[in-house]
Amino acid sequence: MNFKVELTRRTGLALLLAGALAGGSLFAGKAAADPAPYPVKVVTLVTHSSPGGGSDVFLRELSKYLGKYIDATFVVENVQGGSGAKAVARVAGAPADGSVFYATTPTYIYTSLLSKPPKTYKDLEPLVNIFADSEVVFTRADGPYKTLQDVIDKAKKDRGKWGAANPASLERQAAEQLKHAAGVNAAIVTHEGGGDMMLNVLNGTLDIGVGEFQELRSQIEAGKIRVLATFNPERLPEKPDVPTVKEAGFDVQLVKFRGLAGPKGLPDAVTKAWDTAIQKVLQDPEYKKEYTEEVLVAKFIDHKDYPTFVNSFATTTETFLKETGAIK
């Protein structure tokens, strides 16, 4: 039943990346610039999120600009259900001619590992990575904590109360690793998504929350929430005064990636076209303005290196889940 789990998924995703769609369109047309030739005419981009959800918005937004650089029409298809397992199965079974791709997020790794569906991330070929989301540690602005060290000190003396948005998620993993690295005692409370957790940070039930920057933007602007640190490997371009967790003295970092994957055996012509197009689209001034506003960090990984990246992410996750006993 879990309308709440469902809610989580939708909300979490809805908050990512959204925002920049004003003036967008359902189908991205071919733009005036000189697009590179492409073997197929229509490219379907599949996501497991519902219309308006994070990956959905990401794809629609991206496809608006892709037409300038790849000579094809882009269509977004929502294959919901099974936390992404069905979308993965849909893409894994599609012809490997560059006509169908799946929007990757850590979700598809988690689903593959936790529920062992018939088709997993191993049945897809990672194409390119495009972005990394910004993951931060935050607290309420009028609370007692000014730095991450304050929070750790409190957890050392007393007992910390930390929030993570979802039970089996990258944020949970980060919080557990931080607790371990700092060697402190903290209760890690999982929630039904970022909004639910933010309420508990605002009303003082929790010391800190670990979540996506995108979900906090309005409360940060309103001065209700203070960002203490980021789990990203580098500081956020928009918040240069916020240190990384690593700089604060704890060797924990995470990359919530966002890219594309296709069926196995993609031809070279296709992968090359994407390598070039994504690099160009990330430089597109209009698109850059939009995704920068969303606090998305451009993180291009080409087709040669992306499978290694995804596999090492999956291995780390699998190790974590096995250590905790969530999977055998």
Partner 1 sequence: MNKDTWSGVVLLAVAGAYYWATGAIPDSTLEDEVGAVGLPHVLAAALAVLGLVLLVRGALAARTEAAGGPEDEERDARLPRALGFLALGAAYVLLLPYVGYFIAVALLIGSVTLYEGAPRRWTVPVAALGGAALYWAVFVKLLGVSQPVGTLFQGLFS
Partner 2 sequence: MTTFWDIVHLLTGTPLILVAIMGLTWGILGGALPGISASITMALVLPFTYTMDPAMAIALLACVYIGAEYGGSIPAILIRTPGTNSSAATVIDGYELNRQGRAGEALGISLMSGVVGSLFGLAMLVLLTEPLSWLALAFTPPSYFGLGILGLSVIASMTGGSLVKGLAAAVIGLMIATVGTDPISGVTRFTFDVPDLLNGVEPVLVMVGLFALTELMSQSGSTSLTQLKESVRIRLPSLSMMNKLKRSQTIGCILGLFEGLTPGGGGSIAAFMSYNEARRWSKTPEKFGKGSEEGVAAPETANNTVASTALIPLLSFGIPSSNSTAVLLGGLLMHGLLPGPRLFEQNPQVIDSLYVGSFVAIIAQIGVGMLLLPAAVWLVNRPRPYRAGFIFALILSGIYTLNTSTFDLGIALALGVVGYLMRRTGFPFLPMILGVVLGHMVESSYRRSLVLSGGDMMVFLQDPICVGLLLAATGFVIFSLTRELRDARRAKAQHIRDHQTHGQEAHG
DSSP H or E run through 189: strand 186-190
Residue 118 contacts partner 1 per CB under 8 A = no
Residue 122 contacts partner 2 per CB under 8 A = no
Total site size for partner 2, rule CB under 8 A: 69
Residue 11 contacts partner 2 per CB under 8 A = yes
The distance of Cα 78 from the centroid of its chain, to the nearest Å, equals 17
Token readout for 319 is 């190790």
- Report the half-sphere exposure of 45 (CA within 13 A, side-chain side): 26
Smallest CA-to-CA distance from 16 within 200, 240, 194 is with 194
Query: Which is closer to partner 2, CB of 30 or CB of 217?
Result: 217
Exactly one of 81, 93, 144, 167 binds partner 1 (CB under 8 A); that residue is: 167
Residue 327 contacts partner 1 per CB under 8 A = yes
| Distance of closest approach, residue 115 Cβ to partner 1, in angstroms | 12
DSSP H or E run through 162: strand 160-164
Residue 322 contacts partner 2 per CB under 8 A = no
Dihedral sign, Cα of residue 270, residue 272, residue 278, residue 280? negative
The answer to whether 232 touches 186, Cβ cutoff 8 Å, is no
* Amino acid, single-letter form, for residue 247: E
Rounded to an integer, what distance in angstroms lies between the CA atom of residue 260 and that of residue 72?
Answer: 16
The answer to whether 36 touches 71, Cβ cutoff 8 Å, is yes
Total site size for partner 1, rule CB under 8 A: 12
| Distance of closest approach, residue 169 Cβ to partner 2, in angstroms | 7
Q: Is 77 helix (H, G, I), strand (E, B) or coil?
A: strand
| Distance of closest approach, residue 252 Cβ to partner 1, in angstroms | 16
Of residues 213-252, which lie at the interface with partner 2 (CB under 8 A)? 215, 217-219, 221-222, 224
Query: Which is closer to partner 2, CB of 198 or CB of 266?
Result: 198
Binding positions for partner 2, rule: CB under 8 A: 1-7, 9-11, 14-15, 18-26, 50-53, 57, 60, 79-83, 85-86, 111, 114-117, 159, 161, 166-169, 172, 187-192, 195-196, 198-200, 202-203, 205, 215, 217-219, 221-222, 224, 293, 326
